[in-house]
């Protein structure tokens, strides 16, 4: 109740950003349900669909690199507003165009997600804004709410898409291609709603304004009472956890854009990138768009049943986002990630072993229940260790690296699907998750106790 009261009294910008992530992920949930089916329905081969997804991710990576690296120079609000405008344009193009390259260009610039996951610079900018707006003690809960609303939006989008396509095709007897195109019109409408919300953000979202706001001042004052991250029960200090919060506060007092990452960030960010890229590399082999295709072709699942499945899997993702805040407070960020990811890897790899759609869908449900329990721990780990002056760029690099790693899988998935062996992609995904978690635990598990101390545990 105390958290709900504080959330209610939080700055307007926090509430707008939370509403924004719900709308954005809802739009991703709607399009990821039909993207693969739409591309195949307009005569594009499965191999070309895989190439389409890879090229989309490559384009998204390049655009995100520029926008996140210079977002503090351009203005965070401007970057988010530009993204909304491009969403509207892309949705309208998909509703009309047939040409492969036109669709590809629209998917790239219009942040159409090929996986239902985050695409573009929005997530990095929003997380940086949220971390500036709340104190350490509330950060885990705000990020949990952010993750909850994002996955809830994804659930609602997936469910709405399945229901609408089934109704249009079965009751109104629309051709499937018309159903898919209409879904992209809805995507454009959501982009317009998001544009309206984003326009209401205040100048306090900008890094050069944060230090002037009362919220940021109180944040710094509270942080200055917290001891720096120190290595515990070690004879030597750990360079990964020597970042002093007092120093972090002084950085915020005079933020300047230099375009150069700090030595602290350059020291440990590469190791984190290896972990996150391995995770995303495996995920790229079997994103939701291909899972929809797998269940549709192998088990002959209807659009309505798939919409229901993805509604409940995304709903459990939402609940898991809240649970991830609890696991963070119980285990620390790194161990909480391992507790979530290790079972999820096993559940995902076991999906192709079952002949029954119900059982396979059940294992996918279990995978989703565990997979997003690492959301808050990952966000805390990154936002705690990275100096605030580097935060948008570092988060941008993480998301860009993940997107780049995810680009590779679809090239092979399309070819694997052509040969009728899509189950191989499930095994690759599970193996990559296990390897990424092993590297993470070996390199960063010792940070948990120190980070928990900063959060009052």
Domain count, the chain: 1
CB 433 within 8 A of CB 282: yes
According to the model, what pLDDT value does residue 225 have?
Answer: 38
Q: Which residues contact 351 (CB under 8 A, 6 or more apart)?
A: 360, 363, 364, 367, 426
Q: Which domain holds residue 252?
A: 12-202+228-454
Please state the φ and ψ torsions of residue 422, each to the nearest 5 degrees: -65, -20
Task: Using the structure block, give the residue that is written with the tokens 């469910």.
Answer: 159
224-266 pLDDT per residue, tens: 333 334 333 333 344 444 443 333 433 444 444 455 777 777 7
Q: DSSP label at 171? A: I
The half-sphere exposure of 280 on its side-chain side, counting CA atoms within 13 A, is: 23
Tokens of 171: 């009751």
Quote the CA–CA distance of 274 and 365 in Å, as a whole number.
27
Quote the CA–CA distance of 346 and 433 in Å, as a whole number.
9
Quick check: helix, strand or coil at residue 203? helix
Tokens of 14: 């926090």
CATH number (domain holding residue 180): 1.20.1250.20
Asked if residue 211 belongs to a domain, the reply is no
According to the model, what pLDDT value does residue 418 have?
Answer: 81
Tokens of 243: 């970042």
Asked if residue 6 belongs to a domain, the reply is no
Rg of the chain, C-alpha, whole Å? 21
CB 52 within 8 A of CB 35: no
From the list 120, 118, 121, 140, the residue with the least C-alpha distance to 130 is 140
Q: pTM surpassing 0.85?
A: no
Quote the CA–CA distance of 257 and 392 in Å, as a whole number.
11
Torsion (CA) 174, 175, 176, 179 in degrees, nearest 10: -40
CB 387 within 8 A of CB 243: yes
- Find the helix or strand (DSSP H, E) in which 230 lies: none
CB 185 within 8 A of CB 56: no
Burial class of 195 by CB neighbour count within 10 A (0 to 12, 13 to 18, 19+): middle
Instruction: Kindly provide the residue ranges of all beta strands, DSSP E only, lying in 174-216, ordered along the sequence.
Output: none
Q: Which residues contact 298 (CB under 8 A, 6 or more apart)?
A: 422
Asked if residue 397 belongs to a domain, the reply is yes
Please state the φ and ψ torsions of residue 237, each to the nearest 5 degrees: -70, 145
Burial class of 262 by CB neighbour count within 10 A (0 to 12, 13 to 18, 19+): middle
Dihedral of CA 231/236/240/246: which sign?
positive
According to the model, what pLDDT value does residue 7 have?
Answer: 64
Asked if residue 1 belongs to a domain, the reply is no
Quote the CA–CA distance of 82 and 421 in Å, as a whole number.
40
Quote the CA–CA distance of 303 and 134 in Å, as a whole number.
41
Asked if residue 403 belongs to a domain, the reply is yes
| DSSP string across 10-64 | S-HHHHHHHHHHHHHHHHHHHHHTTHHHHHHHTT--HHHHHHHHHHHHHHHHHHH
According to the model, what pLDDT value does residue 118 have?
Answer: 65
CA distances from 285 to 184, 282, 300 (A): 24, 6, 21
According to the model, what pLDDT value does residue 212 have?
Answer: 44
CA distances from 28 to 103, 104, 153 (A): 16, 16, 9
Asked if residue 209 belongs to a domain, the reply is no
| DSSP string across 293-341 | HHHHHHS---HHHHHHHHHHHHHHHHHHHHHHHHHHHHH-HHHHHHHHH
- Find the helix or strand (DSSP H, E) in which 147 lies: helix 136-166
- Find the helix or strand (DSSP H, E) in which 360 lies: helix 357-371
Tokens of 218: 């109180």
Asked if residue 370 belongs to a domain, the reply is yes
According to the model, what pLDDT value does residue 238 have?
Answer: 44
Helix axes of 136-166 and 122-133: crossing angle, nearest 10 degrees: 140
CB 453 within 8 A of CB 87: no
Which residues does the chain have with pLDDT short of 50?
A: 210-257
């Amino acid at each position: 109740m105390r958290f709900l009261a504080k959330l209610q009294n939080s700055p307007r910008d926090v509430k707008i950003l939370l509403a924004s992530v719900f709308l954005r992920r809802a739009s991703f949930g709607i399009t990821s349900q039909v993207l693969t089916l739409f591309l195949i329905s307009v005569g594009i081969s499965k191999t070309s669909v895989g190439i389409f997804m890879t090229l989309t991710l490559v384009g998204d990576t390049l655009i995100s690199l520029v926008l996140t690296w210079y977002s503090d120079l351009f203005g965070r609000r401007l970057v988010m507003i530009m993204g909304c405008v491009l969403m509207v344009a892309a949705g309208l193009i998909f509703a009309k165009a047939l040409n492969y390259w036109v669709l590809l260009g629209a998917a790239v610039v219009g942040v159409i997600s090929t996986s239902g996951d985050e695409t573009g610079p929005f997530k990095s900018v929003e997380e940086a804004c949220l971390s500036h707006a709340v104190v350490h003690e509330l950060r885990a809960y705000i990020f949990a709410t952010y993750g909850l609303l994002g996955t809830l939006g994804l659930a609602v989008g997936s469910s709405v898409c399945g229901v609408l396509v089934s109704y249009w095709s079965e009751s109104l007897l629309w051709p499937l291609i018309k159903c898919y195109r209409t879904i992209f019109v809805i995507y454009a409408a959501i982009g317009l709603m998001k544009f309206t919300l984003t326009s209401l953000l205040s100048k306090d979202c900008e890094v050069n304004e944060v230090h002037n706001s009362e919220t940021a001042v109180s944040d710094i004052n509270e942080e200055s009472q917290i001891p720096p991250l120190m290595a515990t029960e070690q004879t030597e200090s750990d360079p990964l956890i020597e970042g002093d919060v007092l120093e972090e506060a002084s950085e915020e007092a005079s933020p300047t854009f230099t375009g150069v990452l700090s030595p602290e960030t350059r020291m440990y960010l590469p190791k984190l990138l290896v972990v996150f890229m391995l995770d995303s590399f495996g995920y790229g082999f079997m994103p939701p768009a291909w899972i929809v295709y797998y269940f549709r072709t192998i088990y002959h699942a209807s659009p309505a049943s798939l919409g229901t499945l993805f509604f409940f899997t995304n709903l459990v993702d939402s609940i898991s986002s809240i649970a991830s805040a609890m696991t963070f407070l119980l285990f620390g960020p790194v161990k909480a990630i391992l507790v979530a990811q290790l079972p999820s890897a096993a559940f995902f790899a076991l999906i192709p072993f079952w002949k029954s759609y119900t059982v396979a869908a059940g294992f996918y449900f279990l995978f989703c229940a565990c997979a997003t329990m690492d959301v808050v721990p990952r966000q805390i780990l990154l936002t705690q260790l990275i100096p605030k002056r580097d935060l948008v760029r570092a988060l941008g690099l993480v998301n860009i690296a993940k997107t780049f790693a995810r680009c590779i899988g679809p090239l092979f998935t399309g070819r694997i699907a052509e040969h009728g062996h899509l189950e191989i992609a499930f095994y690759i995904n599970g193996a990559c998750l296990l390897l990424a978690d092993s590297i993470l635990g070996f390199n960063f598990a010792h940070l948990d106790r120190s980070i928990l101390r900063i959060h009052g545990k």
